[in-house]
Amino acid sequence: MNSRKLGSADFEVSEITFGAWAIGGWMWGGADKNDAIDAINASYENGIDTIDTAPAYGFGRSEEIVGEAIAGRRDKFKILTKFGLSWYSEKGIFHFDTQDEKGNPAKMYKYAGKERVIQECEDSLKRLRTDYIDLYQIHWPDPTTPIQETFEAAEQLIKQGKVRAVGVCNYNKEQMIEANKTVNVVTNQIPYSMLLRDIEKEVMPWCKENGKGLIPYSPLQRGLLTGKITEGYVFNEGDHRPGTPHFKKGNIAKTNEFLSKIKPIAQAKGCSLAQLVINWTLAQPAISTILVGARDAKQARENAKAVEFCLNKEEVQVINGHLAELKLDL
């Protein structure tokens, strides 16, 4: 697996990053810790040395699992985590209702005041069993705190050696510009897939022009672009996907029709639809790395194979042509 420069940071990451949201269990219908650790190990064995997690993924559980998985070999990995989305305080902007790891009612709040950012970093370092974080990212914009204050805290963490680089998540172009006035913001982690391409209007061109990296999450549109989700698919209890727009009944059918049109390209490459989708996404402008989750070792190995081939110009044109014809009800 090749490495790519992480935006304007001074280090590189693997083209595919292990996305650790699902292994936290929260909003994904549960997760097995041993399977998760096996998935991280299999990813590493296949060249994926970068892991993205967050405190909010399972109320710290995802970070704890990552910390356990990399114990004794921290220097072999690049760890990306986040701050600014908390379940233990009502300060900030209410994000949504959820349930904690025991099934009790809980709430999530967006808050990135200076003291909170510093405290969250300390908490993450403990859960991850490390003394530094490679990329520290604000999870969601916090309209209650001046952007300058938030990133003054991040800059302080860099000076203390606890953070190597700073990024943002879910920021628009204007927010990125404002944050970059205080500290070098190297990346923006943002939703992007064949089915969700809003960032191509402003965020992607600005990042390309200014040397910032994009870290797409949900490149498989939360599993929909694998071709494995069909009408009548039964999701586990607690899985959030059935309530999201892309998983409406009509959208599932339309997406699978699109996938059937590009399946011959996947067959010609000897790859799965998921691998084809990941490969297409990696070829888009300003992409530093792509987040792809895996619940077990088999999925992790399959993800890594997505970089073992190249799409030629004609194949890309065919895919883009079918995409232009796809109209979803969002």
In this predicted structure, the answer to whether residue 204 has a pLDDT above a threshold of 50 is yes
Give residues with Cβ within 8 angstroms of 117, minimum separation 6: 83, 84, 150, 153, 154, 157
Q: How far apart (Å, rounded) are the C-alpha atoms in residues 141 and 110?
A: 7
Please report which residue ranges of 197-293 form alpha helices under DSSP H: 203-210, 249-269, 273-282
Q: Render pLDDT for 239-272 as a digit per residue (tens, 0 to 9).
A: 778 878 898 889 999 999 999 999 999 999 999 9
Q: Which residue has the higher pLDDT, 185 or 99?
A: 185
List pLDDT tens digits, range 267-310: 999 999 999 999 999 999 999 999 998 889 999 999 999 999 99
What is residue 103's predicted lDDT score, i.e. its pLDDT? Answer: 67
Q: Which domains does the chain have, with CATH numbers?
A: 3-222+275-309 (3.20.20.100)
- What is the set of active-site residues? 57
Residue 86: the pLDDT is: 87
* Residue 123 · residue 162 · CB < 8 Å: no
Residue 26 has pLDDT above 60, yes or no: no
Q: What confidence score (pLDDT) does residue 101 get?
A: 64
Lowest mean pLDDT: which of 16-30, 194-208, 259-273? 16-30
Arithmetic mean of pLDDT, 211-238? 89
Residue the block writes with tokens 């996404």: 281
Strand 78-83 relative to strand 133-138: parallel, antiparallel, unpaired? parallel
| DSSP reduced 3-state for 288 | coil
For residue 104, pLDDT beyond 80: no
What is the pLDDT of the chain when averaged over all its residues? Answer: 92
Q: Report which secondary-structure segment, H or E, holds 156.
A: helix 147-159
More confident residue, 122 or 105: 122
